[in-house]
């Protein structure tokens, strides 16, 4: 590892040694649905909404028979409710019809499901099965660009590929959560805590 990567790992570990998934879930079904719903909203809002959602639809079979209007009502606080309702309904129907109600376990199968792209599939497989993916959300992307780990115009999928090559495999899952926490609570989009950051010398944002 280079000194820079070592410095990043050490500082983020110092700040957020126990970073972990903040979505509430009880099995693979509830985790996948929560991940899908978390797009463009906060984990806290998702957890508030899924309390009612999973009480009403505790498994993929009950969700596959849901009324789309009822789903939209439940999901309304999240924003994009119509689109998210369509996606979780379509996803659950596909899982019931094509996979006997069992959530797929492979990346290639997961990304064929409605509303599940590269990031969602990576998050799911890392969180539920402990597979070494370093998924990239808006926080991770911002931090990676600021710390000059990737170019300023890099997309999330390519950024994930690059970060998985930069950081040792055994760090991927934890680093995903730590980079999210770092971007969410420290290296924020607005008013980042630059004065207290030990990574300033690597940071494009600070230098500019």
CATH code at 198? 1.10.1670.10
Instruction: Assess contact for 73 and 82: CB atoms under 8 A.
Output: no
Specify whether 121 is located in the same domain as 157.
no
Q: Are 142 and 190 within one domain?
A: yes
Same domain, 98 and 121: yes
Same domain? For 116 and 181 the reply is: no
The residue out of 129, 156, 189 marking a domain boundary is 129
Same domain, 122 and 80: yes
- 3-state SS record for 106-117: CHHHHCCCCCCC
Q: Which residues of the chain have pLDDT under 70?
A: none
Q: Report how many domains make up the chain.
A: 2
Last residue of a domain, one of 72, 99, 129: 129
| 136 Cβ contact list (under 8 Å, min separation 6) | 119, 144, 156, 157, 159, 160, 163
Boundary-marking domain end, from 113, 129, 145: 129
Q: Which residue segment(s) compose the domain that 161 sits in?
A: 3-20+134-207
67 and 122, same domain (yes or no): yes
| Whether residue 170 is found in the same domain as residue 124 | no
Query: Do residues 85 and 75 lie in contact, with contact meaning Cβ atoms separated by under 8 Å?
Result: yes
Task: Give one DSSP letter per residue of the chain, joined into a string.
Answer: --HHHHHHHHHHHHH-TT----S--SSHHHHHHHHHHTTTS-HHHHHHHHHHHHHH--SHHHHHT--HHHHHHHHGGGS-HHHHHHHHHHHHHHHHHHHTTPPP-SHHHHTTSTT--HHHHHHHHHHHH--------HHHHHHHHHTTSS-TT--HHHHHHHHHHHS-GGGHHHHHHHHHHIIIIIS-SSS--GGG-TTGGG-HHHH-
**pTM, to two decimals:** 0.92
pLDDT at 177: 97
Phi and psi at residue 197, to the nearest 5°: -95, 130
Per-residue pLDDT, 208? 84
Give yes or no: residues 125 and 181 share one domain.
no
């Amino acid at each position: 590892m280079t000194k820079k990567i070592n410095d990043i790992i050490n500082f983020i570990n110092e700040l957020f040694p126990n970073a972990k998934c903040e979505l509430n879930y009880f099995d693979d079904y509830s985790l996948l649905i929560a991940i899908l719903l978390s797009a463009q909203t906060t984990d806290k809002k998702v957890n508030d909404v899924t309390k009612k959602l999973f009480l009403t639809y505790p498994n993929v079979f009950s969700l596959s028979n849901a009324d789309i209007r009822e789903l939209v009502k439940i999901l309304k606080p999240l924003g994009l409710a119509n689109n998210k309702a369509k996606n979780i309904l379509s996803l659950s129907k596909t899982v019931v019809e094509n996979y006997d109600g069992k959530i797929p376990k492979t990346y290639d199968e997961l990304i064929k499901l409605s509303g599940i792209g590269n990031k969602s599939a990576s998050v799911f497989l890392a969180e539920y099965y402990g597979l070494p993916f370093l998924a990239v959300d808006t926080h991770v992307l911002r931090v990676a660009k600021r710390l000059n780990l990737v170019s300023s115009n890099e997309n999330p999928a390519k950024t994930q590929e690059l970060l998985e090559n930069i950081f040792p495999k055994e760090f991927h899952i934890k680093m995903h959560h730590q980079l999210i926490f770092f971007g969410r609570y420290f290296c924020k989009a607005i008013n980042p805590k630059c004065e207290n950051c030990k990574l300033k010398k690597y940071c494009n944002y600070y230098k500019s």
